[in-house]
A and B are shown apart, each in its own frame.
Chain A
Amino acid sequence: MANFLSSIRFSDPYFSVLLMLVIGVGMSVAFVLLSQALGPKRYDRVKYSVYECGVDPLTTASVRVSVKFYLLAILFILFDLETAFLYPWAVLFRQLGWFGFLEMLVFLLILLAGLIYAWKKGALEWQ
């Protein structure tokens, strides 16, 4: 046990991530289990009936979503990837100097063409 405890590197930046994970998962599991164990379970037909803000439900919960969401999601992923490449560049910004700046400028300009195209074609609009 002492051996195990000494093997934990408390100064590791990921230790706080792990701690947060443990506390977060532990708390949510504990609350679900506590309400399961302590909450009174009295069956009542009206209480268990489906309702929507006091109104009878109009449709089922799963309605077919528009394909427009999908286009937005794809565009989100692509520009998300673009920003993902910005992180290592930002970390190394001073080391890379002007050359790195130009590299990233070329990268961003090519993708800017994509953004302008999406904008011009009305892909960002909801019609």
Chain B
Amino acid sequence: MEPILFILFGAIAVAGSIMVVTRKHPMASALYLILTLFAVAALFVLRQAHFLAAIQVIVYAGAVVVLFIFVIMLINVPENKLPVERLTALRFLGVAAAGLLILEGAVLARKTTMPGGTAADSGSVQAVGRALFTDYLLAFEITSVLLLAAVIGAIALAKKKI
């Protein structure tokens, strides 16, 4: 069952990503991005990374794409003024680079054994929480400072009068 689901959701993720970069209207791209992120969340579930999957849906598909959509609505380029992109040498170069990356990944995956990560419960909410609140406590607390900086920065940028 797992290999079938992996291929299914992997194919959805790849197809979604291709749609993201090929759609003409950015809004369509953003909606396909949600599909891709959901498929990747399903891949996380298959790798037993339950917490990561939940965060992927809550934060990325739920909140970050909302931000993307707001930017698209904010800039609001009329349909007839959307730039027409042409097939240039750079794009072929990009495809070649992507192919090289896949090849490198395949070679590396064959040669190395992945340490850990595959244990049945290493990605569960409990396991992630235990690591977060013991070994990575300082990083966790500093995260709050990072979020605080983002809150202040966002307000300072968006408010006309502080």
Pick the contact of A91: B59, B67, B129, B147 (CB < 8 A). Answer: B129
- Given A113-B148, A114-B147, A77–B126 Cβ distance below 8 Å? no
Residue among A7, A69, A70 having the largest count of chain B Cβ atoms under 10 Å: A70
Between A and B, how many residue pairs show CB distances below 8 Å?
133
Interface of chain A residues 75 through 127 with chain B (CB within 8 A):
75-78, 80-82, 84-85, 87-89, 91-92, 95-96, 100, 103, 106-108, 110-111, 113-115, 117-118, 121-123
Report the count of interface residues on A (CB-CB < 8 A). 49
Q: How many angstroms from the CA of A15 to the CA of B27 in the assembled complex? A: 32
A63 interface hit (Cβ, 8 Å): yes
Interface contact A78-B154, CB-CB below 8 Å: yes
Q: Sort A-B residue pairs by CB-CB distance and give the 10 closest, nearest first.
A: A88-B129, A114-B151, A71-B158, A110-B144, A74-B154, A77-B63, A64-B76, A114-B148, A7-B1, A92-B129
Jot down 22 A-B pairs with beta carbons below 8 A, ordered by A: A7-B2, A14-B45, A62-B76, A65-B70, A69-B73, A70-B70, A71-B154, A71-B158, A74-B150, A75-B154, A78-B154, A80-B62, A81-B59, A84-B59, A103-B137, A107-B141, A110-B145, A110-B147, A115-B151, A117-B151, A118-B155, A121-B162
